[in-house]
Chains A and B, each alone.
Chain A
Amino acid sequence: MNAAIGSAGVALGLLASVFGVITLAVGIRSHKPLLLRRAGTYAALILVAGLIAAAAMERALITRDFTVRLVFENGSSLTPPLFNFASLWSALEGSIILWAVILGGYIALVAWKFRRRLDDPLVAWALLTMFVVAAFFFALMVGPADPFVSVNPPVGYDGPGPNKLLQNHPLMAFHPPMLYLGYVGFTVPFAFAIAALVTGRVGEGWLVETRRWTLFAWGFLTLGIALGAWWAYEVLGWGGYWGWDPVENASLLPWLTGTAYLHSVMVQERRGMLRVWNLALLCATFSLTILGTFLTRSGVVESVHAFSESSIGAWLLAFFGAIVVVTVGLIGWRGDRLRSPGSIDSPVSREGAFLANNILFGAFAFVVLLGTVFPLVVEALNDDQISVGSPFFERMTVPLGLALLTMMAIAPVLPWRKASMETLGQRLQWPAWFGAAALVGSVAIGERGLGTVAGYGLAGFAAGAAIRQVALATRRQGWRGLVGRTNGGMIVHLGVILIAVGIIASHANVVSREQRLEPGESFTVAGHELALVSVERTDTARTIRTTAAVRVDGGQIYEPQVNTYRVDGMTIPTPSVRTTWSHDIALTVSLGDWPDGPVQIRAVVQPLMSWLWTGALLMGLGTVLAAFPGRRRRPTDPVSGAIGVAEPEPERDPDAEPERAEVRT
């Protein structure tokens, strides 16, 4: 029953996408607006089809319908409701359903937003592109990743439940959907980029149309990554939040190129430059989301995230290849129209800074991509097994991170076109003192190491520049000084800076120790006394739970646990983590020989972890603020005075120089 409904949903989705593609293609070719206006119907059908498939699968999961293979393999009568609901995306096929639903949602939103312009070729091509992507994902569900395969369970069968690691923390219910909202969201600007290339309207129009879509996709991706890091921190119990795991890297890659795009797009809107570069960045971002899915779903890399081997890998790789070939081909074809009308006058200018930003983000993405796929490539070519782990990534990315912090300090105060050293010296004076104060303060409280103290100093410098911008804007415009792209962007910067400080501080000062303890014994970590009070075993239907009660500093009791799942004997620790604004204590227990011997307690103490999560929240808030309409400026407005041939102009328009005006305040 559930399988039949779900399969019907999948079939409907595939049909709607394919017919959508055909209808739009015919409509565009024969210039029939009537056909183009049908797009809305197909978009709605795709969303409905996705919802039917998802609802059928959820119904199967909730009613424990073990005749559906996904439930047979990932359901269990013992799984708590929240994790049972989240089982949808704990399995390969289910995660494709989630992808399809979200894609359907985005397509329907685009069709609705542009409902009066469906016969515009740009919109038609964009929707056609999205229909192709939807057709691909529904085809996956018909072919290699069919979620609704029927099985015949034995009488009285109960399934094993989802991966035990994934039913350990409620964040599991939020991290994947948030990440997917980000991943899939990049389909929209990508589709418009393709449409712009095909129609030849490669000017700035499509950028402006998709500005907010990109921003929200980026915001969701940011929050999704942050939630993933938080999940890792709370669940894995080694005090870390980022392991440079291939799949974590796969989510970081589109974020890096997407961030680069968000910045360089401003150069194009303002100056009409970097057109090819922006298209390439956007297509790279979208294709990297597919590559990321390939890495996660095909089993080529082994990690906690990767699902079991499946033939879906070949499909995803082929799709990735097709995207790259099509976009490179289109960009080559439109090369003549993509020449930029403007030019960069001076490297010391806003556009010069954005270019440097892009180089840094590009280098960051390159290093992460290289470190992730290098072992795969070497193994495929050479049959050698090599590991590329955190030492490589840290050595490569720390200098890039510091350079990015430096750019974050300098870039926001730079005017467009050209800055004099004096302007720069003036505007950066107070941020520089702010940074110097952070540097001196960090040295004074005992931080050591060139990278570490320089990091604090640069974070202070960047924070100073961001605060200066926000302060100037709010003084001039009141609350409006907090909204709009520039001002919201500064709030995002402040969030990034909080995260940077959290990373530097926790990295430089983490203390971890492990100790075998009998109840009544204690040990000391980073000035905290940990006394093991008791170890107790509770039997539940699902697990055998062993809880260690540890008294910290004679006060609070922490209760790290170990759950041994009855169904497969898998042992999953549940750390006990307490967060304060200044530092965190995380305790993990492992059983060792218990109850015949002592248990082992592992304690990790690190400062400023809360800054990471606060920073991520601030980034989300800044994204929302940036999406609000700020002060409007027509992209074609003259924004600076005559250059080069500066002839004295008797009545120059003061409005023509907004950036200079800012200096006077």
Chain B
Amino acid sequence: MSPRRRQLALSWAAVAVVVVAALAVGTFAADDPTPAERVRSLSSQFACPKCVGQSVQESDAGIAVEIRAEIVRRVQVGQGDGEILGFLESKYPGNLLTPSASGTASLVWALPVAGAVLALAGLAYAFVRWRPRDDVEVDAADRDLVDDALRSRRTGGATSDPGNRGARS
């Protein structure tokens, strides 16, 4: 291993250590969400029943303000997220913004996963199909053709391509 390559490998190893350490601290040293954060997150998961296309978090309609206040109350007495959303869903059915993981609605989760699998399979197939073929024999005539093309580029093409040339001089 040349000194330069060793230096490069060391540099990457150092980056890896720093990144893993920082990610670990950033992930595991997180505090629990504050009550205010929970209120915000919960209210963005529930649609305002009287508005069009807005969550409780976004709307300034009276009922949205009311539901936000309800969420604040329930967070303060220590109810869990699931409990609070369950209560809201029973009081105002059909307004949960997270599609459920069962029944028809679960398709919206399943389809992207199926799509991702298909896309990856397609990509793998494309790469396999695109692999340079070994059975193509390059004969002298082909080489001559390429040489001719390169030669004509050096003589005729060079003037038409000053930018490319200047870039490297």
Contacts and interface: CB of A to CB of B under 8 A. Distances in A.
Interface residues of B, number: 70
Interface stretch (A173-181, A313-321, A322-330, A365-373): A365-373
B119 A359 contact: yes
Interface string A434-466: 011001101100011110111001000000000
A422 B167 CA distance: 24
A645 B153 contact: no
Contacts of A656: 150
5 contacts: A386-B99, A387-B95, A436-B18, A655-B158, A656-B150
Interface in A608-665: 630-634, 637-638, 642-645, 647, 653-656, 658, 661
Interface in A38-75: none
A425 interface: yes
A644 B132 contact: yes
B58 A240 contact: yes
Interface in B114-128: 115-116, 119, 123, 126-127
B98 A392 contact: yes
A514 interface: yes
Interface in B125-166: 126-127, 130-132, 138, 143, 146, 149-150, 153-154, 157-158, 160-161, 163-165
A633 B160 CA distance: 9
Contacts of B164: 631-633, 637, 655, 658
Contacts of A653: 150, 153-154
Nearest to A480: B163
Interface string A352-388: 0001000100110011001100100010001011111
A518 to B, nearest CB: 18
Contacts of A385: 94
A109 B109 CA distance: 45
B123 A355 contact: yes
A432 interface: yes
Nearest to A378: B104
A653 B36 CA distance: 66
A296 interface: no
A302 B45 CA distance: 18
A237 B163 contact: no
B26 A448 contact: yes
A513 interface: yes
A361 B133 CA distance: 30
Contacts of B160: 634
Nearest to B69: A514
B27 interface: yes
The 4 closest A-B pairs by CB, nearest first: A389-B97, A453-B26, A631-B163, A448-B30
Given A450-B27, A511-B36, A633-B161, 16 more contacts: A238-B59, A243-B55, A359-B119, A359-B123, A362-B119, A370-B112, A386-B99, A386-B104, A388-B99, A389-B44, A391-B45, A392-B108, A392-B109, A443-B26, A634-B160, A658-B167
Contact of B8 (A387, A425, A600, A602): A425
B63 interface: no
B153 A436 contact: no
Nearest to A362: B119
Contact of A634 (B23, B100, B161): B161
A484 B16 CA distance: 35
A246 B53 CA distance: 8
B12 to A, nearest CB: 6
A450 B5 CA distance: 32
B60 A238 contact: yes
B44 A637 contact: no
Interface in B29-56: 29-31, 36, 40, 44-45, 47, 52-55
Contact of B27 (A425, A453, A573): A453
Interface of A: 236-238, 240, 243, 245-246, 301-304, 343-345, 347, 355, 359, 362-363, 366-367, 370-371, 374, 378, 382, 384-392, 396, 422, 425-426, 429, 432-433, 435-436, 439-440, 442-443, 447-450, 452-454, 457, 476-477, 510-514, 573, 588, 590, 600, 602, 630-634, 637-638, 642-645, 647, 653-656, 658, 661
Contacts of B130: 343-345
B132 A643 contact: yes
Contact of B111 (A355, A370, A510, A602): A370
A120 B108 CA distance: 47
Contacts, number: 197
B31 A448 contact: yes
Contacts of B150: 638, 653, 656
Contact of A429 (B12, B55, B126): B12
Q: Give the one of A245, A391, A638 with max B CB within 10 A.
A: A391
A382 B105 CA distance: 11
Interface of B: 5, 8-9, 11-12, 15, 18-19, 22-23, 25-27, 29-31, 36, 40, 44-45, 47, 52-55, 57-60, 65, 68, 94-100, 104-105, 107-109, 111-112, 115-116, 119, 123, 126-127, 130-132, 138, 143, 146, 149-150, 153-154, 157-158, 160-161, 163-165, 167-168
Contacts of B105: 378, 384, 386
Contact of B108 (A237, A370, A450, A602): A370
Contacts of B11: 429, 433
Given A238-B57, A453-B26, A510-B40, A303 B52 contact: yes
Contacts of B58: 236, 238, 240, 243
B126 A366 contact: no
Nearest to B160: A634
A274 B53 CA distance: 38
A644 B104 CA distance: 52
A301 B54 CA distance: 13
A313 B99 CA distance: 27
B36 A243 contact: no
A390 B153 contact: no
Contacts of A633: 161, 163-164
Which residue, B23, B96, B105, B130, has most C-beta atoms of chain A within 10 A?
A: B130
B94 A366 contact: no
B94 A363 contact: no
A448 B29 contact: yes
Nearest to A394: B44
A600 B97 CA distance: 26
Contact of B97 (A387, A396, A436, A477): A387
A476 B165 CA distance: 12
A645 B146 CA distance: 13
Nearest to B120: A359
A386 B138 CA distance: 61
Given A391-B97, A632-B161, A432 B12 contact: yes
Contact of A345 (B55, B100, B132, B167): B132
A237 B60 CA distance: 9
A426 B8 contact: yes
B66 to A, nearest CB: 11
Q: Which of A452, A647, A653 has the most CB of B within 10 A?
A: A653
Contacts of B154: 653, 655
Contacts of A236: 58
A476 B167 contact: yes
A440 B96 CA distance: 37
Nearest to A246: B53
B15 A432 contact: yes
A592 B47 CA distance: 21
Contacts of A422: 5, 8
A439 B25 CA distance: 11
